[in-house]
Amino acid sequence: MVAVPISFLQIFAPQPFRFLASAFERVLRSIPLLVTLFLLFYGLPTLGIRLAPFTAAVLGVGLRSSAYQSQIFRGAILSISENQFRAALSMGMNRLKSFQHIVLPQALRLAIPPWTNEFTIVLKDTSMAFALGVVELVRQGRYIIVSTQEPLLIYLTIAAIYLTLTLLSNNTLGRLEKRLRIPGIGIEERAR
C-alpha cells in the first residue's frame, strides 16, 4: 500500500519529502488514466524499460489509485484529534509509535467509506487495460461480439457483471465499516 506512506509524508515529513509526496500525488491525479497507461507501456521503452501489457496496466491503475487514496488517508489522519496524538506522546510513545498505535487504527476505520468509493472506481477503471491489449472483461466481450454479432446483449452482460461486482464489493465494505465503526465518531445511525 503506497497511499498510507504518501499521506504520512504529506503530513509529518520534513519539507523536501512533503514536497515530493505532494508532487507524486498531484501529478498522478492530474494525468488521465489512459495517458498514464500509454506512458508506462509505450513511453518507458524509450528509457530501456519494457513492461508487459498486464504489468503496465496494474502499475498504472495502482499508481493512480494510490494518489487518490493518499488524499483519503490524509483526510482521515487529519480528522483524528491532535489531543490524542499529544496524549500518546505524553505517555512516553515516540511519534512513530503514537501514529502507529493511536492515530492510524482510527484513521483507517474512518477511511473505509471513501475508500469504498475509490475501490469501485478502480474496479471500473480496469476496463481501460483494454487499450493496452490486456484481455479483461471488455476485450473478452469484443471477442464474443465478433463471433456472435450480438453487441447489445454482450455489452449489457458486461454492464451486469460490473454492476454485480460493484454492489457486492460495496455491500462487503459497508458491512466492514459497520463492524469497525468507532462509537461517537462520524455519522451515527438514527435511533429507531
The model carries a pTM of: 0.82
Residue 60 lies in a domain: yes
Output DSSP code: residue 111.
Answer: T
Total number of domains in the chain: 1
Residue 85 lies in a domain: yes
As a whole number of angstroms, the distance between CA 52 and CA 58 comes to 10
As a whole number of angstroms, the distance between CA 90 and CA 64 comes to 38
3-state secondary structure of 151: helix
Residue 187 lies in a domain: no
Structural domain including 84 reads 3-180
As a whole number of angstroms, the distance between CA 167 and CA 173 comes to 10
Residue 186 lies in a domain: no
As a whole number of angstroms, the distance between CA 122 and CA 170 comes to 13
Radius of gyration from C-alpha coordinates of the chain: 21
- Are 183 and 106 in contact by the 8 Å Cβ rule? The answer is no
Q: Which residue has the cell 503514537?
A: 98
As a whole number of angstroms, the distance between CA 109 and CA 76 comes to 8
Per-residue pLDDT of the chain (192 residues; tens, 9 = 90+): 788 899 989 998 899 999 999 999 999 999 999 999 999 999 999 999 999 999 999 999 999 999 999 999 999 999 988 898 889 889 899 888 888 898 888 888 889 999 999 999 999 999 999 888 888 888 888 889 999 898 999 999 999 999 999 999 999 999 998 888 877 665 555 444
CATH number for the domain that contains residue 42: 1.10.3720.10
3-state secondary structure of 62: helix
Residue 191 lies in a domain: no
Residue 166 lies in a domain: yes
Residue 188 lies in a domain: no
Residue 134 lies in a domain: yes
How many CB atoms are located within 10 Å of the residue 181 CB? Answer: 16
